[in-house]
Structure 1
Amino acid sequence: MSLRTPVLEARSLSKHFGPTIALDRFDLSIAAGEVVALMGANGAGKSTIVKILSGVYPGDSGSTTLHGKRYAPASPQEAKAEGVATMHQAIADTVVPALSVADNLLLDRFNDSSASWFATPAARLKEARGIAASIGLDTDLLAPLSSLSIAARQLVTLARVLAAKPSVLILDEPTASLSAAEAERLFAALDVLREQGVAMLLVSHRLGDLKRMADRVVIVRDGRMVADLTPPLNFDAAIETMIGRAVPKAQQRRSIRSPTHEGFSVKNLRLFPQSPPIAFDAARGEIVAIAGPVGGGKSRLARTIFGIEPVVSGEMTLDGHRWQPRSASEAIRHGVFLAGEDRWGTSLFPDSVPFASIDGTLSFPFLSRWFRGGWIDRARERREAALAIKHFSIRCNGPEDRVTSLSGGNQQKVVLARWHAEPARVLLLDEPFQGVDAGARADIADTLRASAPGRVTLIFVSSLEEAFEVADRVLRFDRSTIEDVTDQVTEALDA
């Protein structure tokens, strides 16, 4: 515990969901100007803590105080009004894509009856510019939010949260969709808030985030606080405490040798009209990471291979034959699968959709092959899902669980399991480790390596550290260049 007077303090917080104990007598304190990192494996209880503190739902027992007074918000709006603002990992429910960037920045102000002057377009734009400038957000404020990348939308949401001038700021995976430069811009803004005395709770699976920002680390496992670490912080020991075992170091890079006609190849490919051509190849059985900044074109490359973005010029070949699918369904028919960076936009379903369970999510892309004649074989669905749950160590009650009931990391495991339900010729994974803890990343890396023979695996990431946890080769990519940096980065990480 911090020796300073806490701004926010929770004592013996507990929460049950039916027979499941999500939180068990959990304690937490955060002082003014302190950044407390909350670490825990997927499903350990971090999201439950965040949701109780942010007013999404109440705890079953225990107490919380804010500035020494009872704090029990009945809603996120009430929490924000009391000075506790939260940046949630999933931003889809907190933005309105059809509105402009400026209007999204100002969503919290539209219900402010004391700001009648605020209704004029000029006044709104001026206020939005001030909010955007607070974290160096440089984008067209009049453009619809839907025209922005996932990373840019994340920054808009962050700017909006900071505009509330909270006394306590909860950040749930704030850099998951940000490049290194964008993350540093955020951290600079948070440094200013820390100097102003804002107390912060930071949830992140990126060690770089924690090393850059954390004053203290609280570790939760199976709903309980198992460690409260103070400087000097040993993050290797923290990870072992978090998951209850040591995490193996990245395996030795493999050298894959394959005839040129077996695998995937790109020659003189242009993704944008004005961009220079790129070329690379990946052998069957090889895992190649394509690393680059958010917005640098790597997701566009993944979507082009998958058939949902056009080829400007150049050619792609798969096993020696020209590859240019006209749609995602054509790509899937030929064994080319993509797990997109936005799992809710590309792979998962809301509860209102019949396929929102784990077994339905896994079977959906393969309905025409698995279930002839239009009849769904529920027994096969459950059987395939049970195998996936075991193979990917998905924490759940069973195949019929709704995906929305799972933690973010376990949702990501469902996405990866979906595209392992059938053998792939090419497996495209865009930010596969997003929101996944260190232990789960190691498990996923082992699974990808074990299943790699027989297919080409391309992983698109913004973090070189994550790339080297699993890849045999790493290519650094932006719109202008693609180069093999395996040897350079290996030397840097070993130094």
Structure 2
Amino acid sequence: MTLLTVENLSRAFGSTQALSDLSLSIDGGEVVALMGANGAGKSTLVKILAGIHRPDAGRIVWDGQNYHPESPWDAAASGIATVHQSTDVVGVPGLSVADALLLNRFADGHQPFFLSRRTIRRRAAAIVAHAGFELPLDRDFADLGSADRQIVAITRAISNNARLLILDEPTASLSARESERLYGIVAQLKARGMAVLYISHRTADLQAIADRVVVLRGGRNVGAFSRPVDFDAAIETMIGRPLTAVRPDRRQNFEREVLALRDVRLLADSQPFDLTLHAGEVVAVTGVLGAGKTRLLSALYGNGWFASGSARLDGLPFQPRSARQALDSGVVMAAADRHASALMPPDWPGESIAATIGLPHLKTWYPSGFLFSGREIREGRNAIARLGIKAAGADASVWSLSGGNQQKVVIARWEVEPSRVLLLDEPFQGVDVGARQEIISVIRAHGDRATLIATSDPEEALEVADRVLVMENHSLRRFSLSHPQSEKTA
């Protein structure tokens, strides 16, 4: 029986068309997974179903009736519950898990104002028993891990008689064991006839639980795949072109090894992997938030180290203890949050384009300790011309630039001096398509440097890289999604 039908749904935010004539349906007892790159419309659809946004056009039919929720409370009362990726708001630090299970009932007036601890615990225990799960009812909610917080949220949804559960990237911060536990819970819900709309980038999730995968691109439903899902075909549908034709200039044969990782474990309980980067090669690592991408890059930049394993840079042992040691070895990095990690605050000395580019090179450029602006201004002007930075001049404030031009300045910082390895963490955040192509051209222009990019967007990874790897549960495998294979054995 069809529970939810979405017909020709559209929604725009200003000039951005988030959804365009989107249609899909979900049956009771079915797990439908939504797959799509960033900006494909997944979050907008979820927020419309949850009563946060309203559509501009189209119709939603829920259990045979027209559905137009005015708020998340309205959606929950109708039987549609959403568990968001961040579960911090599920409970309150200082209150117990039992309190968290009853929070919404306290808020909507369905419980007496005064309740004894014994009564709260008894009613929470009844909710957990009805759901068929196990939870530590007396523990402080703040002490729960991500997996147990997810289960609290799901249990509360079941207690409110939800018939459709929307899970938004539920395994993003879960370990492999915790993810398996969640898969079992989803299977239980499916067996009870509950419909599940599951949003995830993780192919392991979709392979484990999805009855059907719906692919979104540009706010539209561009394809659906039933079990067993051909994930290579699904990815090609998501990005709109064949995997083998993503980059006409993609290179395959590299000779000189620059960085080699062997038997690396990012965490003590994660699977070991090997990774080799070659001169002139651009390698992208994609995966969801919490998969371990940033941990890998941070370790290579001297912020912590691997749980085990070894690294060699240009044939010599490499284990930097600080960013300075990494820099001195020729390993440079642009972190994900450029505002916090690369840009001086507005109105501070050093917040110009020239000074931003020169900041990490002060030791090299000015060994005597005396600062002269001539070198910085010259390098700033060269960077503006080379990267197409739209700015009034090298002495202009970096804060006067658009997000894409700010990112070009951050990239330019590592172009003015030779390096052996360039690490880029989410380099295209807040960057429009035009600026992204210009940045990609600069990244791929070097023939003697290896580049390692971390991105949560598979489309970006395929667009920029010679080779794409997937990180799941702090380990790597090739991008050939229908045939998982570790980098070690590739």
TM-score of Structure 1 vs Structure 2, range by shorter chain: 0.5 to 0.7
Q: Distance in 2 between matches of 1:307 and 1:117?
A: 54
Find the partner of 1:442 among 462, 472, 486.
462
Q: Distance in 2 between matches of 1:190 and 1:50?
A: 18
Find the partner of 1:88 among 84, 88, 91.
84
For 1:161, the aligned partner's letter is I
Q: How many residues align?
A: 420
CA displacement 1:392-412 (0-9 Å, x = unmatched)? 9969785999xxxxxxxx9xx
Please give the residue correspondences for 1:107-186 in structure 2 after superposition, counting only pairs within 5 Å. 107-116=103-112, 119-124=115-120, 142-143=139-140, 145=142, 152-153=145-146, 155-165=148-158, 166-186=162-182
Cα deviation for residue 213 of structure 1 reads: 2.1
Cα deviation for residue 189 of structure 1 reads: 0.6
Secondary structure of the residue that 1:248 maps to in structure 2?
A: helix
Find the partner of 2:199 among 200, 203, 216.
203
Task: Say if 2:398 and 2:406, in contact at 8 Å, map to a contact too.
Answer: no
Q: Distance in 1 between matches of 2:431 and 2:9?
A: 23
Cα deviation for residue 15 of structure 1 reads: 0.7
Please give the residue correspondences for 1:352-367 in structure 2 after superposition, counting only pairs within 5 Å. none
Task: Say if 1:16 and 1:23, in contact at 8 Å, map to a contact too.
Answer: yes
Q: Distance in 2 between matches of 1:367 and 1:108?
A: 53
Cα deviation for residue 440 of structure 1 reads: 3.7
Q: Distance in 1 between matches of 2:355 and 2:180?
A: 39
Please give the residue correspondences for 1:44-55 in structure 2 after superposition, counting only pairs within 5 Å. 44-55=40-51
Name the counterpart of 2:405: 383
Cα deviation for residue 247 of structure 1 reads: 1.7
For 1:469, the aligned partner's letter is F
Secondary structure of the residue that 1:164 maps to in structure 2?
A: helix
Task: Say if 1:216 and 1:228, in contact at 8 Å, map to a contact too.
Answer: yes
Q: Distance in 1 between matches of 2:235 and 2:485?
A: 28
For 1:442, the aligned partner's letter is L
Pair 1:323–1:375, CA change in 2 (3 A): farther
Pair 1:138–1:303, CA change in 2 (3 A): farther
For 1:157, the aligned partner's letter is Q
Cα deviation for residue 269 of structure 1 reads: 12
Pair 1:139–1:25, CA change in 2 (3 A): same
Cα deviation for residue 252 of structure 1 reads: 10
For structure 1, the 5+ residue unaligned runs are 402-409, 450-457, 477-484, 491-495
Name the counterpart of 2:18: 22
Moved more, 106-115 or 195-204: 106-115
Name the counterpart of 2:364: none
Name the counterpart of 1:405: none
Find the partner of 2:35 among 33, 39, 42.
39
Cα deviation for residue 242 of structure 1 reads: 2.8
For 2:35, the aligned partner's letter is M
Find the partner of 1:8 among 4, 20, 38.
4
CA displacement 1:40-99 (0-9 Å, x = unmatched)? 33322222111111111100112212222222112222212221111223x166356744
Please give the residue correspondences for 1:93-492 in structure 2 after superposition, counting only pairs within 5 Å. 94-95=89-90, 98-99=93-94, 102=97, 104=100, 106-116=102-112, 119-124=115-120, 142-143=139-140, 145=142, 152-153=145-146, 155-165=148-158, 166-230=162-226, 233-248=229-244, 285=279, 325=321, 336-337=332-333, 339=335, 368=359, 375-376=397-398, 378-379=400-401, 383-385=405-407, 398=432, 432-434=454-456, 436-437=457-458, 439-446=459-466, 461-462=472-473, 467-469=477-479, 486-487=488-489, 490=490
Q: Distance in 2 between matches of 1:289 and 1:40?
A: 18
Task: Say if 2:128 and 2:155, in contact at 8 Å, map to a contact too.
Answer: no
Q: Distance in 1 between matches of 2:47 and 2:116?
A: 35
CA displacement 1:9-35 (0-9 Å, x = unmatched)? 222211111222221222222111112
Cα-Cα RMSD: 5.8
Moved more, 262-271 or 59-68: 262-271
Pair 1:347–1:135, CA change in 2 (3 A): farther
For 2:400, the aligned partner's letter is R
Secondary structure of the residue that 2:235 maps to in structure 1?
A: helix
For 1:94, the aligned partner's letter is V
Cα deviation for residue 156 of structure 1 reads: 0.8
Name the counterpart of 2:73: 77
Cα deviation for residue 38 of structure 1 reads: 2.3
Pair member with larger Rg? 2
CA displacement 1:308-356 (0-9 Å, x = unmatched)? 6599999999786986656x799789855375xxx7xx6788xxxx99x
Moved more, 172-181 or 300-309: 300-309
